[in-house]
């Protein structure tokens, strides 16, 4: 496949399989029986009907909008024949495909395929500007030459909110498909929690995604109450009891895709006394005795492997955990030819995970997908233990909510809470959602600064519940005077990048897979961040990874852009490096976006008008097609009126211990006219090895002025502050020489 003639294909690295569900009814949204594919036959398909751009004439389908590559007619069926290393694909018409879906297709391996088994992957993809992006919802299925079989794929899309989604059928082999049917279940599915907002000491707002067909929801809030630990119960299972009983051990669950009963396996010569056979599509569930798993070790035995290791393909064992409310994805074991097929036993010890709160579970289940039907793995020598240290206490149970959010308050500030949701209508109630932990830190309450000197001040705040540490954010504060006009919020020309000897035709890339701080050796303002960054003399370069469809990105520090009703202007000078490119400039807060066309031959300067600026906004610069691009200057301006305030981030303090309620910032420059300092305070905590940071406190303005502009106070002027002669703010009872400041700005010297 040539990337210049057909879209490139981007695959995500993370796999999230949908759980098989049993639906009573479903509403069909799309059907195709390929009865218009009249040429060719199953044994001898026609030549390809898709051209190099992926276009297929609409006359071949009962609904327009299908496309693909390596698509052939096969006498009333569709043959997908991989023409190169990128495989063959068939794409449905574009749609939203948001929520729960069921995809059915009949398929078999084409007779001319070089092996009996072939792999067909079904997945949700996104039609992007220049490539197809495979989402996290996809699964492999194994077809055979012996018979047509119906395959079913389920997914619940709660992540990709786009009208440019499609269902893709893809293979690296030769596969026949027929009778595609895409449906939405008419029974209610479990809601998906969408997070929390407005976290405060005694409450928060819970959010979840809407469920198709739901008229209302049932909301439950709960927390764990610590009690005396129960005695640890230890369990071992090698399934040898099945040899005589023919039945599963007590508490185990088994569901076969073929409807068969569970099968016992042994191979004494290899030391395998017993195993539970595990075939394609099987679901095996471990016992649930009500206690949380405390240790977990499993062993996978290779019982019957294909003669050709390549037939393993991308087979996967999907592992899910039951959290006491719902099943949720834990991990995927990839069964690939590099490790399997040697007669080995594969052991896994997940104890270090199940002891963590985010993985706590009362049961575990396994599902095998994409494995050849006549082959099998086995589970054996399972070892686990359970123990209870807490019980669940419900603070709210099944409260009816008409929308997709609910605000709770009056909570205990010292307790961590979780919530679950069910979807309802007049006929039914869905299963419970996964439990969502409402973990946060309340924003500290900042208090007035004291000990204000000419080059330092002390920030103060109140302790915040659950906060384990704090940090202070120091800002320059500009207050617009009466003659205020257009104000430069930030101006960066990257002239600090000098003497490097690195030219724009071959920039230096400091690639990274996460957002990282841009050092002050490259920029004038603190707080810039980049993703896949680089530089050349006097320029910043966003490198990205074109082959993997990753775009570089440069992000400004937080900026005050809420003045002038949120209207502001971004001026940027840029060019692309390799090919024509689309520069994307957008707000990280509001997602307001502008686009500009770049070319690799000339610099272009763009002036972009935005309308939705926020108090603490961040502006990002990235690109659409993942090619490297260069920025030479960024200038952001906003019109101000008298009294408007602009906060410019300077730096954060070091981490401050949890019992501290003050911090002194030192070695500060004397503020210029119309400028002073302002600070905000953040609380933070560690939870499951991740740092949780609060929203900031309100800004606190620091007054550095001693107001020595009058020698006498006006009659009846009120006293507002007292200072020592070196500018330290003091209380009313201070003795010695003090300067008393009055409400009219006058100052008197007093000796007390």
- Res. 2 pLDDT band, cuts 50 70 90: very low
pTM for the model? 0.75
User: Are 344 and 337 contacting, i.e. CB atoms less than 8 angstroms apart?
Assistant: no
Report for 14-18, 40-44, 82-86, 507-511: range of highest mean pLDDT: 40-44
Query: What span, in angstroms and rounded, lies between the C-alpha atoms of 648 and 638?
Result: 14
User: Are 574 and 635 contacting, i.e. CB atoms less than 8 angstroms apart?
Assistant: no
pLDDT at residue 588 tops 80: yes
What whole-number percentage of the chain has pLDDT above 70?
A: 90
Q: Residues for the chain: how many in total?
A: 752
- Res. 4 pLDDT band, cuts 50 70 90: very low
Q: Which two tokens stand for residue 244?
A: 């005589």
Where on the phi/psi map is residue 414: left (φ > 0), alpha (ψ -120 to 50), or beta? alpha
Burial category of 274 from C-beta neighbours within 10 Å (exposed 0-12, middle 13-18, buried 19 and up): buried
Kindly state the DSSP code that residue 447 receives in the 8-state scheme: E
- Res. 371 pLDDT band, cuts 50 70 90: confident
The DSSP string of 501-524 is ---TTS-EEE--SS-EEPPTTT-S
pLDDT at residue 696 tops 50: yes
Q: Mean pLDDT check: name the lowest of 69-83, 474-488, 716-730.
A: 716-730
Residue 716: per-residue pLDDT: 55
Closest by Cα among 76, 176, 77 to 120: 176
pLDDT in tens, 90-148: 999 999 888 889 999 999 999 999 888 888 999 999 887 667 778 888 898 989 898 89
Query: What span, in angstroms and rounded, lies between the C-alpha atoms of 532 and 550?
Result: 8
Residue 156: per-residue pLDDT: 86
Kindly state the DSSP code that residue 48 receives in the 8-state scheme: B
- Res. 25 pLDDT band, cuts 50 70 90: very low
**3-state DSSP assignment of residue 270:** helix
What whole-number percentage of the chain has pLDDT above 90?
A: 62
Average pLDDT over the chain reads: 88
Residue 83: how many other CB atoms lie within 10 Å:
12
pLDDT at residue 476 tops 70: yes
Work out the average pLDDT over 318-324: 92
Q: Which residues pair with 8 in a beta bridge?
A: 131
Work out the average pLDDT over 529-558: 91
Residue 743: per-residue pLDDT: 58
Q: Which residues pair with 419 in a beta bridge?
A: 221, 436
Please list, residue by residue across 198-235, b when 16 or more beta carbons sit within 10 angstroms of its beta carbon and e when fewer do: ebbbebbbbbbbbbebbeebbbbbbbbeeeeeeeeeeb
Residue 505: per-residue pLDDT: 86
pLDDT in tens, 324-342: 899 988 999 888 766 666 6
């Amino acid at each position: 496949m040539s990337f210049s003639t057909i879209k490139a294909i981007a695959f995500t690295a993370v796999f999230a399989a949908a759980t098989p569900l049993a639906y009573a009814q479903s509403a069909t949204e799309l059907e195709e029986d390929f009865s218009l594919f009249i040429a060719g036959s199953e044994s001898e398909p026609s030549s390809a009907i898709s051209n190099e751009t992926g276009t297929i004439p609409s006359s071949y389908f009962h609904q327009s909008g299908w496309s693909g590559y390596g698509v052939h007619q096969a006498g009333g069926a569709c043959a997908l024949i991989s023409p190169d290393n990128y495989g063959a694909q068939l794409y449905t018409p574009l749609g939203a495909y948001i929520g729960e879906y069921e995809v059915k297709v009949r398929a078999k391996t084409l007779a001319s395929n070089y092996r009996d088994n072939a792999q067909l992957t079904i997945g949700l993809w996104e039609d992007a500007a220049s490539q197809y992006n495979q989402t996290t919802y996809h699964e492999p299925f194994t077809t055979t030459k012996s018979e047509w079989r119906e395959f079913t794929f389920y997914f619940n899309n709660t992540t990709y909110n786009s009208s440019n989604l499609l269902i893709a059928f893809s293979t690296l082999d030769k596969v026949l498909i027929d009778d595609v049917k895409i449906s939405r279940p008419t029974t209610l599915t479990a809601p998906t929690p969408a997070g929390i907002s407005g976290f405060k000491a005694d409450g928060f707002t819970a959010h979840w995604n809407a469920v198709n067909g739901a008229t209302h929801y049932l909301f439950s809030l709960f927390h764990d109450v610590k009690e005396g630990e129960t005695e640890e119960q230890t369990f071992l299972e090698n399934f040898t009891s099945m040899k005589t009983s023919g039945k599963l051990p007590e508490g185990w669950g088994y569901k076969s895709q073929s409807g068969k009963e569970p099968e016992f396996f042994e191979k004494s010569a290899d030391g395998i006394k017993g195993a539970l056979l595990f075939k394609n599509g099987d679901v095996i569930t471990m016992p649930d005795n009500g206690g949380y798993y405390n240790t977990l070790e499993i062993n996978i035995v290779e019982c019957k492997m294909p003669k050709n290791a390549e037939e393993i393909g991308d087979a996967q064992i999907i592992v899910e955990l039951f959290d006491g409310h719902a099943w949720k994805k834990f991990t995927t074991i990839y069964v690939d030819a590099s490790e399997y097929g040697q007669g080995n036993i594969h052991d896994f010890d997940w104890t270090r995970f199940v002891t963590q709160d985010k993985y706590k579970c009362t049961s575990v289940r396994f599902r095998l997908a994409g494995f050849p039907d006549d082959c099998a793995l086995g589970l054996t020598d399972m070892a686990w233990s359970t123990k209870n240290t807490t019980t669940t206490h419900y603070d709210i149970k099944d409260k009816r909510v008409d929308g997709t959010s609910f605000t709770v308050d009056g909570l205990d500030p010292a307790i961590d809470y979780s919530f679950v949701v069910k979807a309802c209508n007049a006929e039914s109630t869905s299963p419970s959602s996964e439990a969502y932990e409402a973990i946060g830190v309340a924003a500290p309450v900042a208090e007035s600064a004291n000990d204000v000197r000419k080059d330092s001040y002390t920030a103060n705040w109140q302790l915040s519940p659950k906060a384990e540490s704090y940090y202070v954010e120091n800002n320059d504060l500009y207050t617009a005077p009466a003659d205020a006009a257009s104000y430069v919020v930030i101006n960066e020309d990257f002239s600090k990048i000098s003497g490097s000897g690195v030219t724009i035709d071959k920039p230096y890339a400091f690639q990274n897979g996460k957002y990282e701080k841009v050092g002050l050796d490259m920029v004038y303002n603190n707080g810039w961040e980049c993703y896949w960054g680089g530089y050349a003399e006097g320029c910043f370069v966003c490198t990205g990874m074109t082959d993997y469809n990753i775009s570089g990105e440069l992000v400004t520090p937080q900026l005050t852009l809420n003045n002038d009703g949120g209207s502001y202007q971004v001026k940027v000078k840029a060019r692309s490096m390799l090919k024509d490119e689309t520069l994307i400039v957008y707000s990280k807060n509001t997602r307001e976006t502008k686009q500009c066309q770049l070319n690799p031959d000339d610099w272009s300067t763009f002036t972009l008008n935005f309308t939705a600026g926020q108090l603490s906004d961040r502006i990002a610069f990235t690109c659409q097609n993942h090619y490297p691009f260069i920025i030479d200057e960024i200038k952001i301006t906003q019109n101000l009126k008298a009294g408007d305030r602009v906060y410019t981030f300077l730096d954060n303090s070091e981490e401050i211990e949890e019992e501290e309620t003050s911090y002194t910032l030192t070695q500060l420059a004397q503020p210029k006219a119309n400028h002073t300092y302002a600070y905000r305070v953040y609380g933070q905590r560690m939870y499951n090895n991740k740092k949780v940071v609060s929203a900031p406190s309100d800004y606190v303005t620091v007054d550095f002025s001693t107001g020595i502009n009058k020698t006498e106070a006006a009659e009846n002027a009120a006293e507002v502050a007292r200072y020592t002669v070196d500018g330290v703010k003091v209380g009313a009872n201070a003795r010695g020489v003090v300067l008393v400041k009055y409400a009219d700005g006058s100052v008197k010297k007093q000796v007390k």
